[in-house]
Structures are given as C-alpha cells and as structure tokens.
A and B are shown apart, each in its own frame.
Chain A
Amino acid sequence: MAKITYIEHNGTNHTVDVQNGLTVMEGAVQNDIPGIDADCGGSMACATCHVYVKEDWFDKINKKNEGEDDMLDQAYEPKKNSRLSCQIIVSDDLDGLVVDMPEKQT
C-alpha cells in the first residue's frame, strides 16, 4: 500500500491509498481522479495516462520500459520527467509519491 498524490493541472490535490501491484494509472482510474484518460487500458499503446513525476521521485521509481519513450513522444507536452502512469507499479516504496498531471491528455 502506498499513499499517492495526484495533482491536477489546476492545482487540485487528490491523495489516495493505492494497493501494491496496481499501477499508478489504475490508482487514479479506480478512485475516479480526473486527468488520466488511459484510453488503451494500460497496454502502453496510447499516451493518455501521461504524468510528470516530481524530480525527487523520478530516479527512485522503476526505470522507463522499452517503448515507453516512443509513446511519450506522442504525449501532450512531454517533459524530462514525463512517465506513463500505467508503467509505474505501486509498492510500499512508493509511499508518498507525487505526480502532476498535464493540462490534458488528448
């Protein structure tokens, strides 16, 4: 279990408990947090669960998967700290993780 904070582009904070083994994307979708579309359902085939991971967390979470950067090329306003939230698996180590969401996904 990890407490994860999702910050909408307008600054609204959502902090929820997400079970280990779920992805950060699933944590948002299951808690009805707006700002993550996840059109493809987590198969790394779109770029609509795009988040910005706070700098201090970026190096601590699992590295990008092969192909993830290819999808991020197609994301809305990708930055250096961009990730696809469907590729970040939640574990106890992620307790306190903060992700910012882009203005929109599509």
Chain B
Amino acid sequence: MIKTDALIIGAGPTGLFTAHQLKLIGLDCEIVDNLDKIGGQCIELYPDKPIYDIPAVPECTGEELTNNLINQLKPFDIKFHLSERVDEVKKDGDKWIVKTNKGNVFTTPNVIIAGGVGSFEPRKFSVEGHEKFEDKSILYSIKDKNIFKGRTVSIFGGGDSALDWAVELSNNCNVNLIHRRDEFRGAQATVDKVHELTKSKKINLFTKFQLKKINGSSNIESIDIEDDDKNIKNLKTDYVLGFFGLIMQLGPIANWGLNINKKTVEVDTEKFETNQKGIYAVGDICNYPGKLKLILSGFHEGALAARACFKLARPNEKYRFEFTTSSKAIKNRLGVKSD
C-alpha cells in the first residue's frame, strides 16, 4: 500500500503542473498514467503541432511544452506510474483507496483526476463476435512475438506498428497484411520493405480491404475480408492483429460515483472538487459553467485543487499563501538559495 498526500490520475500538462503546485506547498504526490510516456494528449496526439496560447510562451509544440513541464518538476522527487490504469477508487473512512490494473494500491486523502478525455485505449475491431477471441487470438499489442512462430498472422492497419510487425513477423510466420487503402502512413523505409517482402512472397498484401467476418468457434479458423466493391476474400489464419491507433475512453472513471455530464466530471470552481469529498477533477475532463478546454485553464484549476488538498492532507496545519519570489520555505523545496 502506497501512502501519499495526493494521487494524480493523468500525466498531461494539467497533471504535471498540478504536481508542481502540490510539491510547492509541501505535499507529496504520485502520478498514474495509462500511456507509456509523460505528456498526455500533447505527446500522443500532437507532439509536433505548435500551440500559440500558453501564457508567456508565444509558440511551442506539444513535445516542447511537455519537456518544459517535466523540467519544472526537476527539483522534486515525483514517482510516475506509467502504462498503468486506475481501475478502482473506494472510500475508506476519510481516505480513498485507489487500485490500478497492475496491482498497485494507494491510500490517500486526495485524488486529482487530470484525465483529459479519458484513457488512451487501442481501437478495436467492430465486427460481430470479435470479443470472444480478444486477448487470445485477436490482439492489439504484442507482448511475446514467439507465440506466432510458424503460424499464420493477419495484420490490419497502415501505420508504423502494423508495418513494423508485418516485416518482423515475416521472418518466421506466414503474414497477411490488410489495409483499407493503397497508401500507408508508416515510415517510407518500412513501406518500401513491405513492398519488397510482398514481391518475394514473404508478405501477402491486401489493400483496400477491411475485416468483414471472423470464422471459428473456440479458435479462429479464417477471416473474411471485403473491399470497397463488396468483393470478399477468405483467409485462413491463426491470429488477427489490429493496429488502428489509440482512442480515448472515459473508462473506469465512469464507475466512481461522480457526477458525469457528456464525458466530463462536474466540479465546483473553488476547489475543483467533485460531488465526492477529496476527489477533484482538473483540465479537459472537468466541467463547470464557463469551462474552457484550454491548457492554461487546467493550470489554474490544478493550482486551486492543490490548495484544497492541503486541508485534507494536513488537517492540523493552516495553509498560508506564499509567493515563490519571497518564500523561504518554497525556495528550500525548490532547492534554490534564498536571499
């Protein structure tokens, strides 16, 4: 059981700056994020796109913003739990017990949801009956490539993941690569490699096709793929891999007893607290009259939620507002010399 003053869910810009605010006022915090890297949407969706409305930063990319926020956290020791999803939040007296899908359990008076539009999950196939094969013969990520050895694998998608795995698995598997159009969005060198392997019959390439039907009872026997003109091809296969990128799902947050309105969590504007005492929501995921989905709004919301956390984490102390320019205590926490 990990004890902390506040647990932040989401390592996007809002979660990162909220952590900064917590540490500045002398509270501990840990951060959990379902992605394998820090930065949230900024890093997953638009690392290269310029942002023009961060105060005092005329222009920066999602990646630059993330790196600057991480740099700002350098003075502090903050534990990140990446590739980990919070599944359960339960009340225990005046504390919250928070469980993740990796078996970590936190006990904390404060949970701050900075979850953006929810957690990133792989987009799945939509054809009927796909669920019963999932995690067995339909996969959206590969943990152990050796299970495919000598088998037939049908890979769907046109990005780097699909192409890289098609190339890699063609070494010792029978690979079908299926994509909805002729063009691929993967790196050109990999695209060239795929075409080369197609010529040498190492990869069977089917473009302008999509998955139509899965045949088989306990194991997949074959799949039907269909093109735009409704022509159907049947492919024998042992495994089906889908690489269609990530989508955002509210996920387990919906089950924590919070007031949810159109995939957002309702909060007050004093503490950014939800209808549950000690659970806050900040950034894109929160909702209140006048809410703007701007990064700068998330920073403000996080700063106020952090102050609210102080009350519950240090019930016997009084919070005193201080400036970073003058506070000796804050400068100590930042490890900078005070005058």
Contact = CB atoms under 8 A, between A and B. Distances in A.
Interface residues of A, number: 20
A69 B159 CA distance: 11
B245 A76 contact: no
Nearest to A103: B126
Q: Do most interface residues of chain A lie in helix, strand or loop, or is the interface mixed?
A: loop
Contact of A45 (B45, B157, B210, B228): B45
Contacts of A76: 123, 126
B180 A78 contact: yes
Interface in A21-46: 37, 39-41, 43, 45-46
A46 B121 CA distance: 13
B132 interface: no
Contact of B117 (A39, A69, A74): A39
A46 B45 contact: yes
Interface in A52-106: 69-70, 73-74, 76-80, 103, 106
B198 to A, nearest CB: 19
A79 B212 CA distance: 13
A46 B247 contact: yes
B180 A45 contact: no
B157 A73 contact: yes
B123 A77 contact: no
Given A39-B117, A41-B293, A45-B46, A73 B180 contact: yes
B241 to A, nearest CB: 15
B78 to A, nearest CB: 27
A40 B46 contact: yes
7 contacts: A39-B248, A45-B41, A46-B247, A74-B247, A103-B126, A106-B247, A106-B248
Given A47-B245, A106-B123, 14 more contacts: A39-B248, A45-B41, A45-B49, A46-B247, A46-B248, A69-B181, A69-B185, A73-B159, A73-B180, A74-B159, A74-B246, A76-B123, A76-B126, A106-B248
Interface of A: 37, 39-41, 43, 45-48, 69-70, 73-74, 76-80, 103, 106
Interface of B: 41, 45-46, 49, 117, 123, 126, 157-159, 179-181, 183, 185, 210, 228, 244-249, 263, 293
Report, nearest first, the 3 A-B pairs whose CB atoms are least far apart: A74-B245, A70-B185, A45-B45
